[in-house]
Structure 1
Amino acid sequence: MTSSRTWFDQGPSRECYERGSIITTDDGTQWEIRERLKQDDIQRAAHSPISPSHATLKLRCAKANANPSRAFMRVYLQIPHIGSEFEDSETRAAQADHTFQPEELEAYTTLSNHPTVSKFTPKLLGYKVSRQGPSGFVPGGFLIIVVWEYVEGFPLGDLTGDATGYWSLSGRERAKVREHFERTFKEISSTVGIWPLPTSPHRLVWNSTTETLSSNLSPTDSG
């Protein structure tokens, strides 16, 4: 479920993720926010067996005070269950989840260090795992930041599942894409048996300059 509620524009999150803000990941690297891209939220009923209620914010960023290093960042913020937004802080704190880990953090952590797959997937550049303070939407709830490599190129499809990018290429370049896809698929699947799910053309990024094909791991959008 996606709504227009802007969790990152109110309360303790307000102005924390504006252009020019500096975010420091757990390894000490500082990242400067360049652009806010997309907000989403998944707010569930109490005691839902699925992932806890949370909001996400995708940003474009770069290493601060260093050679340009473009990257993407996503913030995962636990939010209250449906109907409990205005309960007292103690009630909201009881909802704090101490076990949640974003699927993309797990994927980037695993695949970035793999000698074969790391050639075809964006690299994990940093992360920060912290808890919300007493004034947070869910005091003690998770606040997790993931930073991953920006991959040059364009998606071969869109979120509808159509291979729009692929069909916009010339016949010669489509043949190159097919060749790279077959080789990449065989190399990844035979080595570790991992492939993005659900499969979709938008998860494939083609760089026509370097003639490289990369797999996008992000679960909620095209980048």
Structure 2
Amino acid sequence: MAPINRWFKWPPVARNEDLNRAYDAFSFATTILRATRRDQPSVVADIRVYIQVPYEGTEHDSPQSRAQQAETFSPNELKAYTIMSGDHETCHFTPKLIGYAEESQGPNGLVPGGFLITIAWQRVSGIRLGSGIIGPYSTSTLGAQSSTTRGSPGPFWYQLRKLVELGVIPLQKGTRHLVFNKTTEELYWVGWYNASLKRGVKVNNAWLAIYKLAKPSKGDSSWMTDNWPRDISKWTF
């Protein structure tokens, strides 16, 4: 395995431990590793590791002192993958959960008794669409012209509605969280680190702007309000 991004801390770590606890926050680090199956190298997995780390300024305290910071934690990313993989026939357009482990750090850990979580999912095949306007892949290719287009919904709207029905909401923004396979013409939703778990979310044309599949008129931010008239006639696709 090889790390594909650097370690970082999230949420930002405050110097005051009491402040962190008051806001129900704690200090942890996360990274992503990439691995292949020994018996089938073509199968590639991404593995995210969450590990609790000491509050800033307490890194050199005794293990007994650091152990008092130990917390339990279940990331929304794991919950989202569990829900989607539990109904993967419906959510075949999301990465399949391979496995996970929820453990505690040992007595010599950074935070003895603190959480250590590992999540592995199968990497999907295709082209990540980037962080800007979709470029060579038109919104018509993805069936994303409008949430009210008559006839059968395209893959973008069909898949988004399925996710909303399950109560798994992708909070990530931009087309870089969409993967398109040219060979199979399959669209995949990736990047569930910031997943939200709630029901009753509205599915409307604002999602085109959220995912940068369309560009609203310059200076127009009405699509971010509840009373938006849903008019996309002046948007750029």
TM-score (normalizing by structure 2) = 0.67
Alpha-carbon separation, structure 1, partners of 2:102 and 2:193: 19
How far apart, CA to CA, are the structure 1 residues paired with 2:90 and 2:130?
21
For 1:55 and 1:180, the matched residues in 2 are separated by: 35
One-letter identity of the residue aligned with 1:154: I
1:44 to 2, 13, 30: 13
CA RMSD of aligned residues (A): 2.1
| Cα distance change, pair 132–186 in 1 and its aligned pair in 2 (3 A) | closer
Does the Cα contact within 8 Å between 1:117 and 1:188 map onto a contact in 2?
A: no
| 1:172-211 superposed matches below 5 A | 174-177=139-142, 178=144, 179-189=154-164, 191-211=165-185
Out of 114, 129, 134, the residue aligned to residue 87 of structure 2 is 114
Count how many residue pairs are aligned between Structure 1 and Structure 2. Answer: 177
1:214 Cα offset (Å):
0.8
Identity %: 34
- How many Å apart are 1:115 and its aligned residue? 4.8
Residue 65 of structure 1, CA deviation = 3.9
Q: Which residue of 2 aligns with 1:137?
A: 110
Q: 1:156 to 1:68 in 2, by over 3 A?
A: closer
Counterparts of 2:167 and 2:69, CA distance in 1: 36
CA distance in 1, matches of 2:77, 2:137: 33
The structure with more helix, counted as a fraction of residues: 1
1:170 & 1:212 partners in 2: Cα distance?
A: 12
Give the corresponding residue for 2:223: none
Q: 2:45 aligns with which of 71, 78, 84?
A: 71
Consecutive unaligned residues of structure 1, counting only runs of 5 or more, are 1-32
Q: Which SS does the other structure have where 2:13 is aligned?
A: coil
* Structure 2 gap segments, 5+ residues each: 145-153, 195-237
Which of 91, 95, 110 is equivalent to 2:69?
95
What is the CA–CA distance in structure 2 between the aligned matches of 1:195 and 1:117, rounded to whole Å?
A: 15
Look up the match of 1:26: none
> 1: distance between equivalents of 2:86 and 2:36?
22
* Partner Cα distance (1:127, 1:84) in 2: 29
Displacement of 1:40 after TM fit?
A: 1.9
Corresponding letter in the other structure for 2:4:
L
Contact 1:96 1:141 in 2 (8 A): yes
CA distance in 2, matches of 1:130, 1:95: 16
Query: In terms of Rg, which structure is larger?
Result: 2
